[in-house]
């Protein structure tokens, strides 16, 4: 048995789960009239209501003991100090520096990393202003108005979901597009109506070696070359990378490279130069507001005692369900059309960070780590899979994310949208058992949820929401004793894809893989 499972804190929580098995969320509200207040928190304009959870003071106290026994406070301190918490790759995780709006320097190994961050931010600012003021020209002299990001994973999901989320703030003159998939349909569809003379590509890749991104970047080079001549790429390609040498080799000049650093994980990179396309779209001051939202959460996370620290509580409540109630998945349901890609982005953040089965001592763990995270925007999700949430045998804790107003508001739509979100959380928690005559119409309730409620989907509120998830993920990784900052699990598939691709392109059709793969390859070759 691992130390974690053997610990008093863990064992106490097992006993508590047993003790409260028959207690319902309704009972908890009946027994504590002040409960909604007690478990609601305000971070600037964002309110987080945790009251509809299967928690009470005794449970929270014991969850905090679990965090204490994992030395969570010390780990938070060590994270913000820049210790090498990414121990498998022997480096720190310093994404918080990308949005550290304080005046303080951050010296590591004799270098002020804040200076570097601010230098790149200044270049991003100049570049995005140039585009917004129609002062960037392509090789044929036309004004650039189409900006296409080529990248995948963290080099795509953050920029694309945030761009979509903040599209009300976007400069309408600019056409912003994303190519991520190796599927040529993505490339073709995105570019088919664009004039190459008015188009630039931001090739976003931390490593500048990701197969999908390099293949799409080469196709972009060819697309430009065919329309504008072989040297046109020099004016139309830009790189965002932590590997500038590789970008140079690709033919991109230094003044076209926006750098970030190996201490920024791909899935934590949206505040780095990877966010350039967002800044171009919404402008510097809105981007700065986006960073402000993150910064506020970072400050809260760094300085607030565990017991009122919102991301810590979010992490602990999620562990409570996942490890002690065996609820295997968690949902993220933003009640916002513009946030339809947020679940996909956070899925990478959560599952690539904490989908690990080996602990920091190199042992295979004997407890669950990351839950499966999924979701879709509401109200659409209600008409797709909420049936299971209400009456299924699987219990899915839900994060509801809502906004009190929006840019193009229509009060009727707004109140319907908000009412639906609140009603779903209420129905899940309290159910309805008065239809005794028809079991099919019973709602047993007792299904937990968190509510995030912001004034509007502003850049700042979005920064706060994403910042909370990043910090929650961190806490869970510490408690599960895993490294949230590497991603070795994606490697094997990449290696095998290379071998299979060679097989597919070889003239000799003798395959030497497993018999299933051989059969499929033979089938493909015969067609």
266 binds ligand F6P (CB under 6 A): yes
For the bound state, the minimum distance from the C-beta of residue 485 to ligand F6P, rounded and expressed in Å, comes to 10
The token pair at 527 is 């067609």
CB count in 10 Å sphere of residue 108:
14
Nearer to ligand F6P, 243 or 318 (CB): 243
What count of Cα atoms within 13 Å lies in the side-chain half-sphere of residue 380? 11
The token pair at 380 is 């659409």
449 binds ligand F6P (CB under 6 A): no
Chain positions 348 to 387 lying near ligand F6P, rule: CB under 6 A, are: 352
User: Contacting ligand F6P (CB under 6 A), which of 62, 128, 149, 155?
Assistant: 155
Nearer to ligand F6P, 266 or 397 (CB): 266
Q: Which range in 6-14, 43-51, 151-159, 374-382 contacts ligand F6P by CB under 6 A? A: 151-159
For the bound state, the minimum distance from the C-beta of residue 207 to ligand F6P, rounded and expressed in Å, comes to 3
460 binds ligand F6P (CB under 6 A): no
99 binds ligand F6P (CB under 6 A): no
How big is the CA angle at 221 (ends 220 and 222), to the nearest 5 degrees?
90
Q: What is the DSSP string of 37-65?
A: HHTEEEETTEEEE-TTSS--HHHHHHHHH
Instruction: Report the b/e string of 187-226 with b at 16+ CB within 10 A.
Output: beebbeeeebbbbbbbbbbbebebebbbebbebbbebbee
Strand partners for 332: 399
275 binds ligand F6P (CB under 6 A): no
Nearer to ligand F6P, 265 or 334 (CB): 265
153 binds ligand F6P (CB under 6 A): yes
Classify 461 as helix, strand or coil: helix
Contact 483, 84 (CB under 8 A): no
- CA pair distance 523, 519, nearest whole angstrom: 6
293 binds ligand F6P (CB under 6 A): no
206 binds ligand F6P (CB under 6 A): yes
487 binds ligand F6P (CB under 6 A): yes
Which residues carry out catalysis? 352, 383, 494
For the bound state, the minimum distance from the C-beta of residue 500 to ligand F6P, rounded and expressed in Å, comes to 18
Q: Which range in 54-62, 160-168, 206-214, 465-473 contacts ligand F6P by CB under 6 A? A: 206-214
Chain positions 209 to 228 lying near ligand F6P, rule: CB under 6 A, are: 210, 213
User: Contacting ligand F6P (CB under 6 A), which of 82, 92, 138, 154?
Assistant: 154
CB count in 10 Å sphere of residue 370:
22
For the bound state, the minimum distance from the C-beta of residue 351 to ligand F6P, rounded and expressed in Å, comes to 11
Choose among 458, 400, 456, 393: nearest CA to 425.
400
Secondary structure letter of residue 484 according to DSSP: T
For the bound state, the minimum distance from the C-beta of residue 149 to ligand F6P, rounded and expressed in Å, comes to 11
- CA pair distance 505, 105, nearest whole angstrom: 52
User: Contacting ligand F6P (CB under 6 A), which of 25, 94, 152, 224?
Assistant: 152
Binding site for ligand F6P (CB under 6 A): 152-155, 205-207, 210, 213, 266-267, 352, 487, 490
């Amino acid at each position: 048995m691992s130390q974690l499972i053997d610990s008093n804190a863990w064992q106490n929580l097992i006993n508590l789960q047993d003790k409260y098995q028959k207690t319902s969320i309704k009972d908890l509200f009946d027994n504590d009239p002040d409960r909604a207040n007690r478990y609601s928190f305000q971070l600037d304009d964002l309110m987080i209501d945790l009251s509809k959870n299967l928690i009470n003071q005794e449970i929270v106290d014991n969850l905090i003991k679990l965090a204490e026994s994992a030395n969570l406070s010390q780990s938070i301190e060590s994270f913000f100090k820049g210790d090498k918490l990414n121990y498998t790759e022997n480096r720190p995780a310093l994404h918080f520096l990308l949005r550290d709006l304080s005046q303080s320097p951050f010296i590591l190994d004799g270098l002020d990393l804040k200076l570097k961050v601010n230098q790149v931010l200044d270049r991003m600012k100049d570049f995005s202003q140039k585009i917004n003021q129609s002062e960037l020209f392509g090789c044929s002299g036309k004004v650039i108005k189409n900006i296409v990001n080529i990248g995948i994973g963290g080099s795509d999901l953050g920029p694309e979901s945030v761009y979509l989320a903040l599209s009300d703030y976007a400069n309408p003159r600019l056409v912003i597009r994303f190519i991520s998939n190796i599927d040529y349909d993505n490339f073709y569809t995105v570019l088919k109506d664009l004039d190459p003379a008015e188009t630039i590509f931001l090739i976003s890749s931390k490593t500048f070696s990701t197969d999908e991104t390099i293949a799409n970047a080469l196709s972009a080079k060819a697309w430009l070359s065919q329309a504008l001549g072989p040297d046109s790429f020099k004016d139309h390609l830009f790189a965002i990378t932590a590997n500038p040498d590789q970008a140079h080799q690709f033919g991109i000049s230094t003044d076209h490279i926006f750098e970030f650093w190996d201490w920024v994980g791909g899935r934590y990179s949206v505040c780095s130069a990877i966010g350039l396309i967002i800044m171009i779209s919404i402008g510097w001051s809105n981007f700065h507001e986006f960073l402000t939202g993150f910064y506020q959460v970072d400050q809260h996370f760094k300085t607030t005692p565990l017991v009122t620290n919102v991301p810590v509580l979010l992490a602990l409540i999620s562990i409570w369900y996942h490890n002690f109630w065996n609820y295997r998945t968690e949902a993220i349901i933003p009640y916002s059309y513009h946030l339809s890609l947020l679940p996909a982005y956070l899925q990478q953040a959560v599952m690539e960070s904490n989908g690990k089965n080996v602990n920091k001592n190199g042992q295979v763990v004997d407890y669950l780590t990351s839950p499966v995270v999924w979701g879709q925007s509401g109200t659409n999700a209600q008409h797709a899979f909420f049936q299971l949430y209400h009456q299924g045998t699987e219990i899915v804790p839900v994060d509801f994310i809502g906004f009190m107003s929006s840019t193009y508001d229509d009060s009727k739509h707004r109140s319907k949208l908000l009412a639906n979100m609140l009603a779903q959380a209420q129905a899940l928690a309290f159910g309805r058992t008065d239809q005794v005559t028809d079991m099919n119409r019973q709602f047993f309730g007792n299904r937990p949820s968190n509510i995030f409620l912001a004034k509007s989907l502003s850049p700042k509120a979005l920064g706060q929401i994403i910042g909370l998830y990043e910090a929650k993920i961190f806490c869970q990784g510490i408690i599960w004793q895993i490294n949230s900052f590497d991603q070795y699990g994606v490697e094997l598939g990449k290696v095998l894809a290379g071998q299979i691709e060679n097989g597919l392109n070889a003239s000799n059709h003798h395959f030497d893989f497993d018999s299933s793969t051989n059969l499929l390859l033979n089938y493909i070759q015969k067609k």
